Amino acid sequence: MALLTLEGVSMRFGGLDALQDVGFHLHEQQIKALIGPNGAGKTTLFNCITGALRPTAGRVLLEGRDVTAWPAHRMCHEGVGRTFQHSRLFDDMSVLENVMVGRHARTSAGLLSAFLRLPRHRREEAESRQAAMDALWRVDLVDRADQPASSLPLGERHLLEMARALATEPRILLLDEPAAGLNDEETERLATSVRRIRDEGVTILLVEHDMGFVMDISDEVVVLDYGRKIAEGPPLMIQADEEVIRAYLGEELE
């Protein structure tokens, strides 16, 4: 059974069809990319999967279970983590503290134990700290742990977003344009991290414009155009697909 299944997901904003009848499977430990011209509905689809938006039609299934329109925080508990296109770091916190917020779903101290610093809470804090450091290690940001998040350069902001999502112990990680604004060296570093994360057992769905990166890293690619799925398959097949070429050429001509 597929880890994540989309069935006929549609999203209307007013009179605009942002997504029409989109469906595909995401299998365990796959790296799948979602590409398409600007405005094709890629981020909207992410929002529908993660519960940030409620699709107007269709279903989202996690291991066969219907999780459509579950609230975002619950999807996190279910093991769906994500990053954002325009990074939404907590700029007034340190790098480590950002990642520690990611431990929220995996810890449980309540108001009382936080108030009184009960032993259980202190133990949990220590564990959170350790797990957050591990997540930073996985994206190679350990030496930044004590710096304010606002001081990071763009490439490292993407990595921090990833570390933060990894700290939630996701089974599926959704990355929204992780390579945007990165130079070649940073992109290479990102690809290494993404592969390592996959090898550690996390399934990955990513939205990306950097075609070199996409074709290099993904097992499968889904192409969206004007909210519809126009192609799906391995990178080589997608590169040869005529409808895909048309969609992209159309964009360049604009």
Candidates 77-85, 152-160, 178-186, 224-232; binding stretch for other proteins (CB under 8 A): 77-85
Give me the residue label for tokens 């499977």.
Answer: 25
Q: Nearest approach, Cβ of 223 to other proteins (angstroms)? A: 25
Nearer to other proteins, 23 or 148 (CB): 148
Which position among 43, 128, 203, 218 is part of the footprint of other proteins (CB under 8 A)?
128
Between 151 and 192, whose beta carbon lies closer to other proteins? 151
- Residue 116 within binding range of other proteins, rule CB under 8 A: yes
Rounded to whole angstroms, the Cα distance separating 140 from 24 reads 32
Among 66, 92, 216, 243, binds other proteins (CB under 8 A): 92
**Could you tell me the two tokens for 94?**
């340190």
- Please state, as a whole number, how many other Cβ atoms lie within 10 Å of the Cβ of residue 203: 23
Cα–Cα dist 70/79, whole Å: 13
User: Least distance to other proteins from the beta carbon of 14, Å?
Assistant: 11
DSSP one-letter string for 73-93: HHHHHTTEEE--SS----TTS
Of the candidates 74, 31, 24, which has an alpha carbon nearest to the alpha carbon of residue 45?
Answer: 24
84 makes contact with other proteins (CB under 8 A): yes
Query: From CA 221, how far away is CA 242, in angstroms rounded?
Result: 15
Contacts with other proteins, residue ranges (CB under 8 A)? 50-52, 71-73, 75-77, 81-82, 84, 88-97, 100-107, 109-111, 114-117, 121, 124-125, 128-129, 133, 145-148, 164-165, 167-168
